[in-house]
Amino acid sequence: MPTIPAYKTVNTTKFTRLVNQIGKNISKSPLMDSASPQPSELNVRPVKVVKPLVVSFDAYDTIYEPVAPVHQQYHAIVTRYKGNWPSEEEISTRYRQHYSQLCQEYPNYGKSAGWPIEIFWKTLLNRVFYDGEPTIMDAVVSEIASHFSSHAAYHVFEDVEPLLQALAKNGVIPAVASNADEQVTHLVLHTFGLIDYFGKENIFLSYHLELSKPDPAFFEKIGTKLLELKNGEHSLKGLSKAEIKDHWWHVGDDYKKDVLCSQRAGIRSVLLDRKGQYGFLKEGEDSVIVHDRFIVARSLLALIDLFGMNESGKGA
């Protein structure tokens, strides 16, 4: 049976300072649900951060991102065929509108209708760029689809591999838990050499699970599958699902889909807020421990220390 990791005590001085300065704003924020602690409850006492047995990651905007905003890459291609039509702003608006509509009509990238993922994206592109000129459209859609099926369209964040290396040295099981496009996610993981950290068996995507965030059942199903997997030398067999959940941290950039969803499934969560847009992080701060089940970090590197992983590969 695997050993249950110890806790790491973390000083909360930085977070106490943050609460004193913007506590009232946090308590009023729509990002804080009724289950979140209010500033008056966030005392100066040290917080024990549970060391993980499992760390799962969202994919898009957590592990990787486009090399430039999608609408800018679309615009760069389409203008080679038809001048300045449409503008970047129009592409962005059309993309959001038609993507939302298409997801409602054909959920899970069209899998509900028996579509291959390629058909979903080509249908979306045709709706975004339709202008009554089929010859131009065929060329535009074909080139865009080809571009976004290659590694040239994507970038892996620099803090991803150092954290994965630390997890590996400390015997922690990494997993991908995401709603992202299956083909792109596998392309990125293989092209940028990350698949060796995760292994094929620890990639959990909504496309195959047929459940997606923010449904907590998404994580429940992953938990069941983790119990069934050997994961090399790091089998979780012998542990209860409750024990696994208590030592499972999920990392993602979306408060609703990653934080609230995982917490409602009984899993601890890290909000990856690279741009400081959620209001938890003070300028210059790398991380904040909101409570013992919720951390906000500006970089994945902050988690190496918070999870008690030192350079020797042994937990602190």
SS (HEC) of 214-226: CCCHHHHHHHHHH
> By C-alpha distance, which of 271, 184, 175, 255 is closest to 214?
255
Mean pLDDT lowest among 103-107, 140-144, 154-158: 140-144
**Domain check: are 173 and 26 in the same one?**
yes
**Domain check: are 58 and 178 in the same one?**
yes
pTM value is 0.83
pLDDT score at 205? 96
Q: What average pLDDT score do residues 140-156 get?
A: 92
Give the mean pLDDT of the chain.
Answer: 85
Q: What average pLDDT score do residues 282-310 get?
A: 94
Enumerate the H helices of the chain as residue ranges.
13-28, 70-82, 88-105, 117-129, 134-147, 160-169, 182-191, 195-198, 206-209, 217-228, 241-246, 261-264, 301-306
The count of domains in the chain is 2
**Domain check: are 139 and 73 in the same one?**
yes
Which residues, 6 or more positions from 54, have their beta carbon under 8 angstroms from its beta carbon?
172, 173, 174, 175, 226, 236, 244, 247, 248, 249
Which residues, 6 or more positions from 129, have their beta carbon under 8 angstroms from its beta carbon?
74, 78, 86, 94, 137, 140, 141
pLDDT score at 158? 97
What strands lie across the sheet with 173-178, from one edge to the other?
A: 203-205, 173-178, 54-57, 248-252, 268-272, 294-297, 287-291
Share of the chain above pLDDT 70, in %: 79
pLDDT band at 1 (very low <50, low <70, confident <90, very high): low
Q: Which two tokens stand for residue 136?
A: 């131009």
The two beta strands, 7-10 and 203-205, are: unpaired
Domain boundary among 153, 188, 216: 153
Rounded Cα–Cα distance for residues 27 and 104 (Å): 33
| 37-88 confidence digits (pLDDT tens) | 444 444 445 678 999 999 999 999 999 999 999 999 999 998 888 776 788 9
More confident: 81 or 29: 81
- The owner of tokens 């080509």 is 122
pLDDT band at 7 (very low <50, low <70, confident <90, very high): low
Looking at the DSSP bridge assignments, the partners of residue 309 are 315
Domain limits for position 100: 68-153
**Domain check: are 149 and 243 in the same one?**
no
**Domain check: are 135 and 284 in the same one?**
no
pLDDT score at 3? 61
pLDDT score at 13? 45
Looking at the DSSP bridge assignments, the partners of residue 203 are 176
**Domain check: are 164 and 140 in the same one?**
no
